[in-house]
Structure 1
Amino acid sequence: MAVYSMTGYASGQQAAPQAPAGQETKGTPAGRLGLEIRSVNSRFLDLTFRLSEELRQHEPALREMIASKIRRGKVEVRGALESAAGDSLREPTPRLLQRLNTLQDSVRSWLPDARALSVADVVRLSAAEGSADVDWTEPLAELARRTIGELVAAREREGARIATMMLGHLRQLRELAQQATPLVPKLVEQQRTRFLERWKEAMALADGAALPEAAQDRALSEATAFAIRIDVAEELMRLGSHLEEIERLVKKGGEIGKRLDFLIQELHREANTLGSKSAALELTHISVDMKVLIEQMREQVQNIE
C-alpha cells in the first residue's frame, strides 16, 4: 500500500446536463457546476462544506463519498453553480416577471420602504429558476468521484515524497548509531583506567588509617555508578529496534500516521537519553545530529494519514 499525505488539493467542473426533449428553456440554462476540495493535516477526519443553496441537499452524499476514500485530515469542500458566459444571459419569462411583480407588491404593501427589484436582481432570480429545473444529482456525483480521485492521487504523490525523505533519514540515523556503537567499549575502558587510578590513590592515602576493604568498596561503588551512567548500549539497541519498525511501516503504507507519531516520540526519547549519558564529546555530537534528523521526521509525520 502507498503512504498518503493529509495535504492535497483538487478541483473540477461539470457542464449542466441536457434538458429533456420538450423542456428546453430559452437562453443558456444552468451553466456549469464547480467543485473544489482541499485538505490539510488533522488528528481525525474533519469535513467542512461550503455549498451554494442549490447544492446543500447533496451534502450527505458528498460526505459519505469522501469518508469512504479519506480517513484523516481537515477537508474543506466548496461547490457552486457557475453561470454561463455573460453574452448568453437567461431571458426572464413573462410568467416569472408576473410572479416577481406580484411578490414585490405584496412585500411593499407591508414594508413600504423596501427596495424595489433591480434588473440585476431579476436576472439573478431568472438564472436561479433555470438552475432549479436541472437535476444535479448525477452530474455532481460524477464530478465528486473525479475530484476526490484527483485529491487522493495528490495526497499519494505527496506521501511518496515524504516516505522517500523518511527512508533517507532512517539511513542517516543508522549510520550515526553505527558510529556510536564502537564508542561504548571505549568508554568502558576509560572507566577501567579511572577505576585503577582511584584505587591506587585510595590505597596510597589509606596509610593504615582505613582498612583496604573499605577503600576497595568505595572505589568499586564509584566505578559501578559511573559505568551504569555512561552505558548507552541499551539505548542504542532500542533505537535500532524503533528504526526497523518505522522502516517496516513506511514500506507497508496505509494508515500509519498515528503509529509513526508514537515511534518518533520514542526515537527522540532515546536520542535525549543518549546525550544525557554521554561521557565523550563524540557521543554528544552524535546525539545532537540524531535529534536534528528526528525533529525533521516529526514535522513530516504530522502530515501522514
Structure 2
Amino acid sequence: MMTIKNSPASQPMLSMTGFAATESRFTGGLLLIELRAVNHRYLELNVKIDDNLRQFEAQVRELLQSRLGRGKVECRINLKSDAAVANLTLNPEMVGQIAQTLAALQQHFPQAQPVNLVEVLKLPGVCQTESIDTEAMAQSLLNGLSQAIDELIAARQREGEKLKQVLLDRLQGVREQISIVKPLLPALISQYQDKLTTKLREAMQAEDDRVRQEIVLYAQRIDVDEELARLNAHIVEMDRILTAGGTMGKKLDFLMQEMNREANTLGSKSVAIETTQVSMQLKVLIEQMREQIQNIE
C-alpha cells in the first residue's frame, strides 16, 4: 500500500517587535510580568527582576532563551506582597539589640534628638513576615512568564503577517518593473541601429559590416538578460522563503543585497530614460523591503 507524505505545514513569520503583560497570583502575593521586544541582530535579554525574586533569574533567562529567537527583549518582573497574608510582626531579639545600642548612645550624647520609631521599623530584620512558599512562588513565576511569552509570540506573529503582506506587495512591484524592461530592449537596439547607421554614413560613408559590428557591441553592452534572470531567481527564492515561514530575517536580508546588486547593474547598463527609471524604481522597492526585513526574526 502506497503511503502519501503530507508536505510540512508552513510556520508563521514572526516580527521581532511585540509587547505582553500578565499577572500571576500565588498565596502571599501577585507577580506582574512585562515583556517588550524590538529588533536586534541576535537575542539580547535585559531582565529586571524584583530583589525578592532574584534567586529565580537564571530560570527566567533559561525559559526566555528556549522560547525566543532574535530580538532585544526586556523582561520586567515585580512582586506585590499580599498584606492580608503577610501578618507583620516585630523581631524581639533585633528590637532588644537596637534598644540597648540606643541606650548606650544616649549616655554619650544626652542632647541628641529622640529616635524616630518609623525609621527603626525600616531597619533590616526589625519586622518579620510569615515565610512565603518558595516553591509555589517559583511555579507561579514560571507559569506567568510562560503565558507572557505565549502572548508576546502571538503579538509578533500578528505583526509578522502584516510585514509579510507588505513584502509580497513590494515583490509584486518588482515583478511589474522587470516586465517593463525586457520588451524595451529590441526597440532600443533598433533605435540605436537607425541612429548609428545615419551618423556613420554621413560622417565616413561606413560600410554595412562596420555598422553591424557597432550594433553587436552596443547590444552586448546593454544586454541585461542575466541580470533579469537573476532577479527572477531571487523573486522565486523569496516567495519560497515567505511561504515556508519560520526564521528568515537573515536569509531575506542577503537576498535584498543580491537584488540591489542586480538593480545597480541594470542602471549602469541603461541607455534610455525608461530603463533608468525602472532601475531607480527597483532600488526603491528593494530598499522598502530591506527596511521591513530588519524587523523580521
Match of 1:272 in 2: 264
Q: Please show how residues 222-301 of structure 1 align to structure 2 within 5 Å.
A: 222-301=214-293
Match of 1:99 in 2: 94
Any conservation in 2 of the 1:7–1:41 contact (CA below 8 Å)? yes
CA deviation after TM superposition for structure 1 residue 226, in Å: 3.0
One-letter amino acid matched to 2:88 = P
Q: Are the structure 2 counterparts of residues 262 and 10 from structure 1 closer, same or farther at C-alpha, using a change threshold of 3 Å?
A: same
Q: Please show how residues 150-165 of structure 1 align to structure 2 within 5 Å.
A: 150-165=151-166
Structure 1 stretches lacking a partner, 5+ long: 18-29, 207-211
Q: Are the structure 2 counterparts of residues 237 and 64 from structure 1 closer, same or farther at C-alpha, using a change threshold of 3 Å?
A: same
Distance (whole Å) between structure 2 residues aligned to residue 189 and residue 104 of structure 1: 106
CA deviation after TM superposition for structure 1 residue 279, in Å: 1.3
Deviations 1:202-259 (A, max 9, x none): 543x8xxxxx7xx965x56654443333222221111111111111101111111001
Give the secondary-structure state (helix, strand or coil) at the position aligned to 1:82: strand
CA deviation after TM superposition for structure 1 residue 126, in Å: 8.4
Bigger mean CA deviation after superposition, 134-143 or 184-193: 184-193
Distance (whole Å) between structure 1 residues aligned to residue 273 and residue 102 of structure 2: 85
Distance (whole Å) between structure 2 residues aligned to residue 44 and residue 291 of structure 1: 27
Q: Are the structure 2 counterparts of residues 240 and 15 from structure 1 closer, same or farther at C-alpha, using a change threshold of 3 Å?
A: same
Identical columns (%): 38
Distance (whole Å) between structure 2 residues aligned to residue 180 and residue 242 of structure 1: 17
Bigger mean CA deviation after superposition, 55-64 or 141-150: 55-64
Q: Are the structure 2 counterparts of residues 6 and 97 from structure 1 closer, same or farther at C-alpha, using a change threshold of 3 Å?
A: farther
Deviations 1:38-85 (A, max 9, x none): 111111111111111111221221112111221111111111102447
Any conservation in 1 of the 2:46–2:73 contact (CA below 8 Å)? yes
Give the secondary-structure state (helix, strand or coil) at the position aligned to 1:181: helix
Match of 2:46 in 1: 48
Give the secondary-structure state (helix, strand or coil) at the position aligned to 1:5: coil
Any conservation in 2 of the 1:4–1:158 contact (CA below 8 Å)? yes
Would you say 1:147 and 2:142 are equivalent positions?
no
Q: How many equivalent pairs are there?
A: 279
Distance (whole Å) between structure 2 residues aligned to residue 220 and residue 121 of structure 1: 102
Match of 2:193 in 1: 192
Distance (whole Å) between structure 2 residues aligned to residue 128 and residue 33 of structure 1: 22
Bigger mean CA deviation after superposition, 292-301 or 276-285: 276-285
Any conservation in 2 of the 1:104–1:117 contact (CA below 8 Å)? no
One-letter amino acid matched to 1:68 = S
Match of 1:168 in 2: 169
CA deviation after TM superposition for structure 1 residue 194, in Å: 3.2
Q: CA RMSD in A?
A: 3.2
Distance (whole Å) between structure 2 residues aligned to residue 181 and residue 36 of structure 1: 53
Any conservation in 2 of the 1:275–1:287 contact (CA below 8 Å)? yes
Q: Are the structure 2 counterparts of residues 109 and 121 from structure 1 closer, same or farther at C-alpha, using a change threshold of 3 Å?
A: closer
Structure 2 stretches lacking a partner, 5+ long: 1-10
Would you say 1:119 and 2:118 are equivalent positions?
yes
CA deviation after TM superposition for structure 1 residue 169, in Å: 1.0
Distance (whole Å) between structure 1 residues aligned to residue 30 and residue 195 of structure 2: 82
